[in-house]
Amino acid sequence: MTNQKSALRVAFPYTIPVMAGYLVLGTAYGILMNSKGLSLIWILVASIFAYAGSMQFVAVSLLASAFDPLGAFLMTLMVNARHLFYAISMLGKYRGSGRIKPYLIFSLTDETFSIVCSAEPPQGTSRKWFYFFISLLDHSYWIAGSVLGGILGSLIEFDTKGIDFVLTALFVVILINQWRSTKNHLPAMIGIASALLCRIIFGASNFIIPSMLLILLLMTLLKRPMERGINK
Amino acid sequence: MNYTTPQLIIFFGIVAFGTLLTRALPFILIPEKKEIPKFLKYLADVLPFTIIGLLVVYCLKDVSFVNTPHALPEIISIAVIVVLHLWKKNTLLSIGGGTVLYMILIQYVFK
């Protein structure tokens, strides 16, 4: 038990930026669901089981159109295809986490990935519990935020326009930290350049999968220069 | 929203399943006992650096340079985040400062 307690204490500070982002965005999500006439139970169900951050906003917009299970499924796969990359990146690190592994996989959102992919537990801290508490804390921030939003609903009015920029800011800061941690900037530049190019060619709603394919192609072609200086 | 309760259950079930599938597929294909192929190991080392760049672009996907305000709120806010972060190296300050600035910009300055 003390092992887990210390892992929780070590994990918490890493999650503070996500706490800020998720409480705010989760609240916005709850307010949005509430405005579509969904009760607190559905907000809770969606945030606990269909936990996907940005995909949950897409799901709200789907709810506005006619019931289309296949369309909803394909849309989910499209929007969340990038999670394939997260899972590949965590294949090794999540090995040997035993019975908590399914939860680690289930809760691998953009924001949780952005932390677990670079954070290393200090010596003496159990790796799997470190990852577990980062995942669990992030998940609970999201649930707490969305329930809060569902309750607040129309009770108060404040202009939240632009608040979703908090996640952009989080990713920019992570990008800077990664940039400073290595001398080889080719992987980062390929990510940005591929996404930008595909965004221009394929438009805002269809560029994720082409970007992923382009990234895979470039990674295959540029294996040598890409690996140089990346910490193993 | 005019979904019935069973339709809502199916709908959220599908979204939950589709999301889990994208996260679980690599783990299902490469179970614990199987050695991770060399190419995937290489991807695992390099992808984290690549994906964060993709995510930044993903967050900004709806921004237009052509229409007013010509992406100025985003450009200014990100520039401030970069300078603030290189200067103070305080994650919360950079994120909080950048977000508040962005909200002020789009609510009052470039409305």
Residues B13 and B40 grouped into a single domain: no
pLDDT digits (tens, 9 = 90+) for A168-187: 888 898 899 889 888 899 99
Tokens of A120: 């290393």
- Cβ–Cβ gap A199/B91 under 8 Å: no
B37 has a chain A CB within 8 A of its CB:
no
Tell whether A177 is covered by a domain: no
Residues A155 and A194 grouped into a single domain: no
Q: Which residues of A24-44 are buried (b: 16+ CB within 10 A; e: fewer)?
A: bbbbbbbbbbbeeebeeebbe
- Cβ–Cβ gap A85/B51 under 8 Å: yes
Per-residue pLDDT at B75: 96
Instruction: Give residue B61's pLDDT band: very low, low, confident or very high (50, 70, 90).
Output: confident
Number of DSSP helices (H) and strands (E) in chain A, helices first: 12, 0
Residues B51 and B13 grouped into a single domain: no
A168 has a chain B CB within 8 A of its CB:
yes
Whether A195 has a pLDDT exceeding 90, the answer reads yes
Residues B45 and B63 grouped into a single domain: yes
Whether A157 has a pLDDT exceeding 70, the answer reads no
- Cβ–Cβ gap B52/A175 under 8 Å: yes
Residues B19 and B46 grouped into a single domain: no
| Chain A residues whose beta carbon lies within 8 Å of the beta carbon of residue B108 | none
Question: Which residue in chain B is spatially nearest to A60 when comparing CA positions?
Answer: B1
Whether A78 has a pLDDT exceeding 80, the answer reads no
The residue with greater pLDDT, A17 or B84, is B84
Please state, rounded to an integer, the average pLDDT across all residues of chain A. Answer: 87
Residues B4 and B16 grouped into a single domain: yes
Tokens of A52: 């996907």
Residues B25 and B67 grouped into a single domain: no
Range of the domain at B75: 35-109
* Helix or strand (DSSP H, E) at A223: helix A223-227
Tell whether A165 is covered by a domain: no
* pLDDT (mean) for A153-160: 68
Residues B24 and B54 grouped into a single domain: no
| Chain A residues whose beta carbon lies within 8 Å of the beta carbon of residue B78 | 168, 172
B53 has a chain A CB within 8 A of its CB:
yes
Per-residue pLDDT at B14: 93
Q: Per the structure, how many domains does chain A have?
A: 2
To the nearest whole percent, how much of chain B has pLDDT over 70? Answer: 99
Q: Could you give the maximum distance between any two Cα atoms of chain A, in Å? A: 57
To the nearest whole percent, how much of chain B has pLDDT over 90? Answer: 50
- Cβ–Cβ gap A187/B49 under 8 Å: yes
Range of the domain at A195: 182-232
Q: Which of residues 74-93 of B touch A (CB under 8 A)?
A: 74, 77-78, 81-82, 85-86, 91-92
A96 has a chain B CB within 8 A of its CB:
yes
Closest-CA distance of chain B to residue A4, Å: 23
Residues B42 and B8 grouped into a single domain: no
Residues B58 and B21 grouped into a single domain: no
Per-residue pLDDT at A104: 96
Instruction: Give residue A74's pLDDT band: very low, low, confident or very high (50, 70, 90).
Output: confident
* pLDDT (mean) for A154-160: 67
pLDDT digits (tens, 9 = 90+) for A35-64: 778 889 999 999 999 898 766 777 777 787
pTM for the predicted model, two decimal places: 0.80
State the burial class of residue A78 (Cβ atoms within 10 Å of its Cβ: 0-12, 13-18, 19+).
middle
CB A134 within 8 A of CB A116: yes
Residues B18 and B65 grouped into a single domain: no
Per-residue pLDDT at B80: 97
Residues B40 and B91 grouped into a single domain: yes
Tell whether A173 is covered by a domain: no
* pLDDT (mean) for B89-109: 89
B34 has a chain A CB within 8 A of its CB:
no
Whether A13 has a pLDDT exceeding 80, the answer reads yes
Residues A93 and A47 grouped into a single domain: yes
A67 has a chain B CB within 8 A of its CB:
yes
Rounded CA gap, A157 and A152, in Å? 9
Of B17, B20, B99, the CB nearest to A169: B99
Per-residue pLDDT at A54: 62
Question: Which residue in chain A is spatially nearest to B107 when comparing CA positions?
Answer: A161
* pLDDT (mean) for B47-72: 87
* pLDDT (mean) for B16-37: 92
Per-residue pLDDT at A145: 92
Per-residue pLDDT at A190: 94
Per-residue pLDDT at A231: 54
- Cβ–Cβ gap A169/B27 under 8 Å: no
CB A175 within 8 A of CB B108: no
Q: Could you give the maximum distance between any two Cα atoms of chain B, in Å? A: 57
Instruction: Give residue A113's pLDDT band: very low, low, confident or very high (50, 70, 90).
Output: very high
Whether A87 has a pLDDT exceeding 90, the answer reads yes
Whether A212 has a pLDDT exceeding 90, the answer reads no
ipTM for the complex shown = 0.86
Q: Per the structure, how many domains does chain B have?
A: 2
